[in-house]
Structure 1
Amino acid sequence: MIKDQEYLKSKASYCLELAKKLGATDASVTVGNSISETVSFRNKALDESNRSDSLAISIETYIDKKKSSISSSNLLEENLKTLIKKCYETTKITPEDEYNSLPDKNLLAKNIKDLNLYDESHLENDKKIDYLKELEETASIDKKIINTESGFTENKSNFILVNSDGFCDGYKSSSFTASSVTVAKDENSMERDYEFTSRCHLDDIVKAKELGEIAANQTIKKLSPKKIGSDKISIIFDKRISKGFLSSFAGAISSSAIARGTSFLKDKIDKQVFSDSISIIDKPDLIKGMGSQCFDSEGVKSETLNLVNNGILTSYLIDTYNGKKLNLRSNGRSGGSTNLYFENGKLSFEELLKTNSKCLYVTETIGHGTNLVTGDYSVGATGFLVENGEFKYPVNEITIAGNFNDMFKNITLANDLEFKYSVNSPTMMIHGMTVAGK
């Protein structure tokens, strides 16, 4: 059973009061409890079943502009006393940093909205096993599938955040995640692909049969790939790949990267960084959203941000500490983006495929070839050659490269946005990318 708010609040309040008694000028305490249950299958047989129960506390103490932190999974009173004393003593000998402080009081969240992030439902282990059996049976129907792996994870969590400026709140959240990985083989090659589903509520996850079918079909389509020559060509990125560009963008506009000067987007506020057809939103209050939150990890209220408006960068993702370095107010993004997405484009998926007589459709990238300091991008990739809007054959052993400064201005989006993850994108085309092949 997940710990309730009263239990978590009592532990946090105890630590806060003790830190103040010792002499801390300010303090912040977070207490969280998380319970996770996972069942996994391999080749239609039960592989593993486990359960974890995590209870942890994190304490920050301030003495004017000095700050230190400490954490533990032992919430017994004697240990908490020792922790807080150690944290306070460490703070006394820590050098001052003029940017250390709690968030401004007027930025703290006050009216907490119910975003329906918690599902009381519990799927017993035997039901998880039944789900995975059906998934694996479906994924294995075609004889070309020679190996399957699947998993089902149920997670329930609750937390409370308190600080010496009077903030005290938290909420429950849940997630149900199922995945399917399949390996296919024919006389020419062996290929691997996957599919997964993750939702706050059990009833919203993809059915086992559908998940298995998608994973198997995607894998079989990749068999017998061909090699292509080097070229400069338009590339269409599948939605599960295109969302990765948004993740890179979020990293580049984090206030920590901007304050350090380690982002290719520094000094780009109010400047054109995408084509004028592109807008990017970060929306924390989506009902049942996988990245939804009422406030960030500091207690600052999170409101919708129009990060890019008609191609123009309008805001960074700002926390308290780095915001002060930049002389900017926190916008509730300590911990990063929430539900980040490109707004839909105007073309249908089919129209996007037909935009060029020949292009590449990328379904998987290999490696971590993203440099957020320079904007350089280079990764291995696999996918399909598309001619006149039709998928011709799978391709592999290619490298695609470019620079975000150019790539962002050459994006065309389809109108097939779905909110499956905390970062979401429609299918994306980037014109004129470099492809290195055989």
Structure 2
Amino acid sequence: MIKDKKYLENKGSQCLDLAKKFGATDCEVLVSNSIEETVSFRNKILDESNRSDSLVASITTFIGKKKSSIASSNLLDENLKTLIERCVETTKLTPEDEYNSLPDKDLYSKSNLNLELYDEQNYENDKKIDYLKELDEKVFEEKKVINTESGFSQNKSNFILMNSDGFQGSQNASSFSASCVVVAKSQDGMERDYEYTNKCYLNDIKKPSELAKLAIDRTIKKLNPKKIGSEKINLIFDKRIAKGFLGAFTGAISSSAISRGTSFLKDKIDQEVFSNSINIIDKPDIKRGLGSQIFDREGVQSNELKLIDNGVLKNYLVDTYNGKKLNLKSNGRAGGSTNLYFEKGKKSFDELLNLTSRALYITETIGHGTNLITGDYSVGAAGYIVENGEIKEPVNEITIAGNFKEMFKNITLADDLEFDYATNSPTMMIEGMVVAGK
């Protein structure tokens, strides 16, 4: 069982009292406990079963504008005393930084909204094993499958955040996830693909048969790929790939990147950086949302942000330290985005496929070819040829390239948005990208 709020609160209060006793002018304490249980199968045979229990106190002490941090998993009284005394002594030796401080007091969260992030259900190991057995049995009904790797993970966590300004906030959360990796073989070779499901509540995850079918379908369709030549062509990105562009976007609008000047979106507030049909929203208060939170890791209230409004950049993701550098108030995004998504477009998936006589439908990217300083983007990819609205034969061993400055302004979105992850996108088309093939 995870530690209850009272236990975490007692440890947090103890840390705050010790920090003040040893001379800190301000202090922030995070006490967290998480228990994760994981079972994995390989080819219908139990491969591994693990359980990890993490209990950690992270303490940050301030003396004026000096700051230092320390963390430990030993929460015995004598160790905490030694730990915090050492942290305060280290703070005294640390150079001053004018931007070091706790958040402005008026920004702390006072909300008691219930986001329904914790499921009391506990899936015992034999149930996890039964789930994976059923999953693998369904996968191997397809004769072309030669290998599988599957896993089931359950995580329960609780934390309390406290500081010397009097803020105190806690949150418990749960997550249940299952994954299935499939390898299939034909006369011309082997292909691999996967599917997974991840939810806060056990009853919301996909059933084994559904997960198996999705993983099989994705893998079998990739068999017998062909090579194509180099060209400039419209690319249609599967939702799993399209959401990755939001990850690059949030990296470029983080206040740390902006304050360091290492982002191609520096000084772009109130400028059009996407086409005027695009809206991007970060919504922290979705019930059972994988990225939901009432407050950020500094205790600042997290409210809904419209990051892109009809193509125009309206907000950065701002924490306290970098916000002070930029003369901006924290908007509750220490730690990054919450539930981030492109607002859905107006065209159906089929209409998107029919927008051009020939395109490539990208279902997999390989590598991390993103440069957030210049906006350059280049990755290996695989997918399918699309002709006259129909998905045809698979293709692989291609490289796709472009620059986000142009790519963002050439996006068309479908209306098939679903909230399966913390970051979500509908199917996306980007016009006129460069593809390098054989």
TM-score, normalised on structure 1? 1.00
Instruction: Quote the residue 2:325 is aligned against.
Output: 325
Q: 1:418 corresponds to which residue?
A: 418
2:379 equivalent to 1:379: yes
The amino acid that maps onto 1:188 is D
Counterpart of 1:367? 367
The aligned residue for residue 126 of structure 1 is: 126
SS of alignment partner, residue 369 of structure 2 = coil
Q: Secondary structure at the match of 1:227?
A: coil
Q: CA deviation at 1:23?
A: 1.2
What do the CA deviations read for 1:281-304 (whole angstroms, capped 9, x no partner)?
000000000000000000000000
Aligned equivalent of 2:280: 280
State the match for 1:35 in structure 2. Answer: 35
Amino acid at match of 2:284: P
Give SS of 1:171's match. Answer: strand
The residue number in structure 1 matching 2:247 is 247
Residue aligned with 1:19, SS: helix
Residue 142 of structure 1 aligns with an amino acid whose one-letter code is E
More moved, 301-310 vs 137-146: 137-146
* 1:262 positional shift: 0.2
TM-aligned CA deviation for residue 392 of structure 1 = 1.1
1:408 to 2:408 alignment: yes
1:211 aligns with 2:211: yes
Amino acid at match of 1:87: C
Structure 2 match to 1:170: 170
Secondary structure in structure 2 of the residue aligned to 1:170: strand
Alpha-carbon displacement from aligned partner over 1:397-430 (angstroms, at most 9, x marks no partner): 0000000000000000000000000000000000
CA shift, 1:143, in A, is 1.2
Counterpart of 1:18 in 2: which secondary structure? helix
How far does the alpha carbon of each residue in 1:361-406 deviate from its partner, in whole angstroms, 9 at most, with x for none? 0000000000000000000000000001111100000000000000
Q: Per-residue deviation at 1:306?
A: 0.3
Q: Does 1:158 align with 2:165?
A: no
Which residue is equivalent to 2:393? 393
Q: Offset at 1:112? A: 2.2
- Which residue does the alignment assign to 2:297? 297
Mapped partners of 2:106, 2:378: distance in 1? 44
User: Runs in 1 of length 4+ with deviation above 6 angstroms?
Assistant: none
The equivalent residue for 1:53 is 53
Root-mean-square deviation (CA, aligned residues, Å) is 0.4
- Structure 2 residue aligned with 1:338: 338
Per the TM alignment, residue 171 of structure 1 is displaced from its structure 2 partner at its CA by 1.1
- Per-residue CA deviations over 1:47-93 (Å, capped at 9, x if unaligned) read 11111110001000000000000000000000000010000000000
Give distance in 2, aligned partners of 1:113 and 1:173.
Answer: 14
Task: Give the Cα–Cα distance (whole angstroms) in 2 for the partners of residues 248 and 83 of structure 1.
Answer: 38
Counting only pairs closer than 5 Å after superposition, residues 69-84 of structure 1 correspond to structure 2 as 69-84=69-84
Equivalent position SS for 1:396: strand
Asked if residue 257 in structure 1 is aligned to residue 257 in structure 2, the reply is yes
The alignment partner of 2:30 has SS state of strand
Task: Confirm or deny that 1:66 pairs with 2:66.
Answer: yes
Within 2, Cα distance between the matches of 1:348 and 1:244? 21
CA distance in structure 2 between the aligned counterparts of 1:408 and 1:139, rounded to whole angstroms: 38
Q: What secondary structure sits across from 1:232 in the alignment?
A: strand
- Structure 2 partner of 1:89: 89
Output the CA distance in 2 between the equivalents of 1:169 and 1:214: 40
Q: CA offset at residue 191 of structure 1?
A: 0.4
Name the CA distance, whole Å, in 1 between partners of 2:74 and 2:359: 56
1:116 aligns with 2:90: no
Q: Aligned partners of 2:319, 2:15: CA distance in 1, in Å?
A: 24
Match for 2:408: what amino acid? Answer: F
In the alignment, the residues of structure 2 paired with residue 94 and residue 112 of structure 1 have an alpha-carbon distance, to the nearest angstrom, of 37
* Structure-1 separation of matches of 2:212 and 2:396: 24
Structure 1 counterpart of 2:12, one-letter code:
A
Task: Name the structure 2 match of 1:350.
Answer: 350
Q: What is the distance in 1 between the residues matched to 2:171 and 2:215?
A: 34
Q: How many residues align?
A: 438
Given that 1:60 and 1:68 are in contact with CA atoms closer than 8 Å, whether structure 2 keeps it comes out as yes
Counterpart residue type for residue 42 of structure 1: R
Amino acid at match of 1:326: L
SS in 2 for 1:29: strand
Partners of 1:20 and 1:420 lie apart in 2 by: 44
Deviation at 1:22, TM superposition (A): 1.3
Any conservation in 2 of the 1:189–1:225 contact (CA below 8 Å)? no
* Conserved? CA contact 1:200–1:290, under 8 Å: yes
Do 1:36 and 1:53's aligned partners in 2 also have CA atoms closer than 8 Å?
yes
Distance in 2, matches of 1:189 and 1:359, equals: 25
Does the Cα contact within 8 Å between 1:140 and 1:216 map onto a contact in 2?
A: no
- 3-state secondary structure, aligned to 2:249: helix
Q: What 5-or-longer segments of structure 1 have no aligned partner?
A: none
Q: Residues 9-37 of structure 1: CA distance to partner in whole angstroms, max 9, x if unpaired? A: 00000000110111111000000000000
> Letter of the aligned partner of 1:37 in structure 2?
E
Distance 1:42 1:355 in 2: 42
Question: Tell me, what secondary structure is at the counterpart of 1:330?
Answer: coil
- CA distance in 1 between counterparts of 2:189 and 2:237 reads 23
Q: Give the match for residue 233 of structure 2.
A: 233
Distance 2:191 2:112 in 1: 47
Letter in 2 for 1:237: F
List alignment gaps of at least 5 residues for structure 2: none
- The residue identity in structure 1 corresponding to 2:384 is F
Q: Sequence identity of aligned pairs in percent?
A: 71
Q: Give, in whole Å, the separation in 2 of the partners of 1:60 and 1:227.
A: 55
Displacement after TM superposition at 1:189 (Å): 1.7
